[in-house]
Structure 1
Amino acid sequence: MKIVTAVRADIPSWMSLAADVEELFGPLVDDPGFEAALVRNIERGTALCVRAAEAPSGSALAGGLLFSARHPHYEITWLAVEGKARGRGIGRLLVDAALREFTSPPCMVEVTTFGPDHPGSGARLFYEGLGFEPTAQLLEGGSRQVYRLQLPLA
């Protein structure tokens, strides 16, 4: 597997990945806001994706991550791994790659993930395993929660 910065040729593959995770995230493919956000991230170089090591741009993706970088506050705005690729370390590879982009510690990294009442709440354990800590900030009636990671790690 290879982590690369996404390019416009990857948009159809991203939309396919989005379709694969709609059961967790809700409608994405038919949401023009999602595609617009994807294009903005691709244009500013804040869209990372994973595909087979030798696969060209536009090939199927095993995962993708969008992030916002405004020192000293960084945010992982979207992370998804294709259903059949989950549990193989792809999410961790993407987060680690994003964290390497945050080159000016000290800084705070935030992610909004699923709350304890959501079917995708296993993502909470994923982020906790990476050192993120839950905040008291619950959103959307408890179905989303903000997690934070302070860099550098103590």
Structure 2
Amino acid sequence: MAEDLGFHDAARKHIRRSTAIAAVSSRPGLLGGLLFAAKAPAYHVHWLVVSEQARGKGVGRALMAEAMRRFVRGPGAVEVVTFGADHPGAVTSGARVFYERLGFTAAEAVDPGPEGGSRQVFRLVVTGFERRRDRP
């Protein structure tokens, strides 16, 4: 998905609006990107994509940490809709495990995705103290 030109266009548009973050390499190329909506107390990850060559190297974690630092002013909750447990992409993408490792918990099911597969909300409750604790 990070290789998709549509994603590049959407990322540039949202970066200009200050609602997206991109990770780029010293070589030409987008490693990943995140589209975020920050309207306290509800925060939403609309799109988090990491290129295949960058997966497992901390890019997704770094993008989420930067989004939390920039946009989240708790208390509130950060939500993301990802694959349902029975969706084939749940395992191959690693999305569910990724969000669980960041402290998100599985919540309610939502409408199926565009291809018909199940989807589920993952939610992270934030108190506002996370920002101070995680700051360098």
* TM-based fold match above 0.5: yes
Mapped partners of 2:13, 2:24: distance in 1: 21
* Structure 1 counterpart of 2:104: 132
| Alignment check: 8 A CA contact 1:110 1:148 kept | yes
Q: Is the 8 A contact 1:116 1:142 kept in 2?
A: no
Q: How many residues are paired up?
A: 123
Q: Residue 77 of structure 2 corresponds to which residue in structure 1?
A: 108
- Return the alpha-carbon distance in structure 1 between the equivalents of residues 103 and 97 of structure 2: 10
Displacement over 3 Å in runs of 4+ = 34-40
CA contact (8 A) 2:43 2:72 kept: no
3-state SS of paired residue (2:89): coil
Match of 1:84 in 2: 53
- Deviation string 1:104-148 (CA, Å, 9 cap, x unpaired) is 210111101111122321211110110011112232166211111
Instruction: Give the TM-score of the pair, scaled to structure 2.
Output: 0.77
Q: Which residues of structure 2 form unaligned runs of 5+?
A: 131-136
Partner residue in 1 for 2:124: 149
Q: Deviations over 1:26-70 (max 9, x none)?
A: xx84xxxx6775454223111111112x56xxx311111110111
Cα displacement (A) at 1:71: 1.2
- Please report the RMSD computed on the Cα atoms of aligned residues, expressed in angstroms: 2.5
Alpha-carbon distance between aligned partners in 2 of 1:117 and 1:45, rounded to the nearest angstrom: 34
TM-score by length of 1: 0.69
Percent identity, aligned pairs only, is 46
| Structure 1: runs of 5 or more not aligned | 1-15, 20-27
